[in-house]
Amino acid sequence: MILYDNTMKRLIKKEITILILFVVVFISIRSIHFSSHLNFSTDQASFSMTALELWRDKKITLIGPAISYHYIGRDLYQGSTTYYFQLLFLLLGKFDPVASSYFFMVFASLMIFPLYFGVKFLAGKRAAIFMIILYALLPFYIDYTRFFWNPNYQFVLFPILVLFMGFYARSKKPLFYFLIFATAGILLLFHYQFIFIIVGLVIYYLFKKFSTKYFALSIGGILIGFSPLIIFEIRNHWYNLQTLILFVKNFKKTPSSLNPHYFLSISLAGMLIVLHVARKKINTWFLIAVTTILLVLDFFIYVPPPAHGFGMAKDWNYPSEKKVNGIIRQENLDHYNIANLAYNTVSAVQKYLLKKDGISINFDDYYHNKFLFVVSAGENFMTDPAYEINTFVPSKRLKKWKINETYSLYLLERLP
């Protein structure tokens, strides 16, 4: 018995050492040129601004950001978990975009632990190691675990659900079964792509062995996890449901696109299925080969300095935004606004940076501002169709600052 206990302790110690090593590798790869790779653009700034306002005003909201599709002025809203989860890292980073995003990345690295043990309980140790190799080293996952975004939050929290699945597979306790579906309901709040995974869970568990008790636990768990949006629906005459029905009726008018982030959580779920089926075919040499190939690939992708932030406009990144903010602050003007023609005319990032520092301007008014800062790649920006620019007439150019090799910042003054 003593020999067995000592052997188990050595095995557990070895496992923990391996996991810590993967955490270090996870963080190290993503730390390379972190601020230059960082995507802190329109969505990240808008979500951060809302989270900042909720924190300062001590308010509670039941809804989060809307999905990207709009129709005749209607939006389909996701859960407020996006704002509150992001707020945790904003507080840790004192609302600085780089520091806060880095804390999120570190948190994502710690999800290696629940992911490993969850997969281990479901498909074995070698399958679990293969899963964390992909989670830590696959470029697709590297790109989406370095910045704020609701699909990214859903992805990095998915391992907690996998852990509950592993606990249930081992113990068959109803509590863990309930927690699987409650967690699924919470994750659905972040992004509606998770509905496909919930359907898969229902098929896997209930069609495998149906019972009234476990059906009730499944539905009850989802409803409790998803309860913030259910409360919103009840209080607002089923606004989201009505909007969804409207979207479905006008399905042919809906723009179709398959963006990569739609497959973040789904790809992890799919890999879990593949590993469960192929678990006996995974050997040590295969794991070493996959790790080596991905490390070499990551080296060539991430060691060279990036031309722009991930998902951001060509030749534009967060350090450029920071430089613009420093110039605007140094000018110390009143009655101004900002337009960024690189990718976001209303310049959400600049407005977040100003708001976090307690600087108050009328962010929405582009008709009565005396001054206008403009980020542009060319000199003839006044011909741009954006109303933030073409309504600022007559005006004269006061100053110009070079931000990088492509973009410059201009200061205009409105004339009487």
Looking at the structure, do residues 104 and 210 belong to the same domain, yes or no? yes
298 and 324 together in one domain: no
Looking at the fold, whether 104 and 150 belong to one and the same domain comes out as yes
Tokens 């100053």 -> residue: 399
Contact by Cβ (8 Å): 201, 180:
yes
pLDDT digits (tens, 9 = 90+) for 208-246: 777 899 999 999 999 999 999 999 999 999 998 998 888
Residue 5, domain member (yes or no): no
Which of 271, 302, 333 finishes a domain? 302
Q: How many domains does the chain have?
A: 2
357 and 330, same structural domain?
Answer: yes
Report in angstroms the alpha-carbon separations of 199 from 53, 188, 193, 195, 269: 35, 12, 11, 6, 12
The domain boundary residue, chosen from 302, 335, 366: 302
Q: Would you put residue 375 in left (φ > 0), alpha (ψ -120 to 50) or beta? A: beta
Is 311 a domain residue?
no
**Boundary residue ending a domain (267, 302, 337):** 302
The mean pLDDT value of the chain amounts to: 92
Q: Which pLDDT score is estimated for 147?
A: 96
Q: Is 386 found in the same domain as 282?
A: no
In a domain, 85, yes or no: yes
pLDDT tens digits for range 64-113:
999 877 777 788 899 999 999 999 999 999 999 999 999 999 999 999 99
**Structure confidence by residue, pLDDT tens digits, 359-401:** 988 888 999 999 999 999 989 999 899 999 989 999 999 999 9
CA distance 330 to 352: 17
pLDDT reported for residue 11: 67
> Domain for residue 251, yes or no?
yes
Q: Are residues 107 and 64 in the same domain?
A: yes
Please indicate, yes or no, whether residues 368 and 290 belong to a single structural domain of this protein: no
- Helix, strand, or coil (residue 223): helix
Examine the pLDDT at 1 and tell me if it is beyond 60.
no
**339 in the same domain as 202:** no
Domain with 147 in it = 17-302
Using the predicted structure, report yes or no on whether residue 150 has a pLDDT greater than 60: yes
Q: Are residues 165 and 34 located together in one domain of the fold?
A: yes
Q: Where are the alpha helices (DSSP H) in 343-406?
A: 348-356, 387-390
Q: Are 352 and 49 in contact (CB under 8 A)?
A: yes
pLDDT (0 to 100) of residue 413? 95
Measured between alpha carbons, how far is 78 from 186 in angstroms, rounded to an integer?
Answer: 11
Read off the pTM: 0.93
Asked whether residue 210 falls in the same domain as residue 62, the answer is yes
Percent of the chain with pLDDT over 70: 96
> Average pLDDT for residues 184-200, to the nearest whole number?
96
For residue 84, the model assigns a pLDDT of: 97
In a domain, 1, yes or no: no
CB–CB of 177/297 below 8 Å? no
Does residue 131 fall inside a structural domain? yes
* pLDDT, mean of residues 349-354: 96
Quick one: what percent of the chain has pLDDT higher than 90?
80
Mean pLDDT of 257-286: 89
Inform me whether the pLDDT recorded for 278 exceeds 90. Answer: no
Asked if residue 166 and residue 275 are part of one domain, the reply reads: yes
In a domain, 309, yes or no: no
Q: What is the pLDDT of residue 130?
A: 96
Q: At what angle do helices 97-110 and 348-356 cross, to 10 degrees?
A: 100
Residue 329 has pLDDT above 90, yes or no: yes
Sorted by sequence, the CB contacts under 8 Å of residue 41 that are 6+ apart come out as 309, 311, 312, 343, 344, 348, 349
Q: Specify if 7 maps to a domain.
A: no
Q: Which band of pLDDT confidence, cut at 50, 70 and 90, is reported for residue 2?
A: low
273 and 339 inside one domain: no
128 contact partners, CB below 8 Å, separation of at least 6:
115, 116, 117, 118, 119, 120
